[in-house]
Amino acid sequence: MLTSAAYVLKQDIEELRAAVDGLPDEALNWKPAGEDTNSIAVLVTHVLHSTRSWISTAVGAPLPDRDRDSEFRVAAGRTSDLLALLDDFGARILALVNDAGDIDWSANRKAHMRPDPDLPDYVPASFALLHAIEHFGQHVAHVSLTRQLWDARSA
């Protein structure tokens, strides 16, 4: 399970990097449908922090500090800075997966604070792993489409 997880995460990190690479700085904070939608800077920052936290839960590593609300207030300065963040967090996320030992996937583990207070604080390791990856895939797709829309708007 962890081998496949690492493979898919590595692909997703590369796809996210490709979707950001080459964008002009002003594209990073553009919201495709106004205030109801998130910018690429927000999406990338959020998904990196979220994935590191959920993978930590999945493999039983200590939970990193996280301020979820601040992820949605991010405004990026330069594309190179966002790529550096992506490279740093991408390496940390893959290290968590690659360094994990045997996992009891049914073990209940503490998650970070959830956006909905009705959601449980403790989840099975299996849920944490699959949710981390599907959530990463969700935002990679979101960033890719936002870039397509930016490119179409700029053309």
Partner 1 sequence: MPGDSILESARYLVGQSLDELRASLEGLPVEALNWNPGGESTNSIAVLATHTVHSTRLWLSIAMGVPLPDRDRDAEFRASADDPHAFRRIVQGLADHCLAALNSADAVDWTSMRPTHGRGGDAPPEVAAAYALIHATEHLRGHVDQISLIRQLWEQRSSP
Binding region for partner 1 (CB under 8 A): 1, 3-5, 7-8, 12, 32-34, 36-37, 105-106, 124-127, 129-131, 133-142, 145-146, 148-149, 151-153
Identify the H or E element spanning 147. helix 125-154
For the chain, the first-to-last Cα distance in angstroms comes to 43
Min. distance of Cβ 124 from partner 1 in angstroms? 5
Q: How far is the CB of 65 from partner 1 (least distance, A)?
A: 26
Enclosing H/E stretch for 114: none
Could you give the residue ranges of the DSSP H alpha helices within 72-124? 79-98
Indicate the residue among 77 and 120 with the shorter CB distance to partner 1.
120
Return the number of the residue (5 or 83) whose C-beta is nearest partner 1.
5
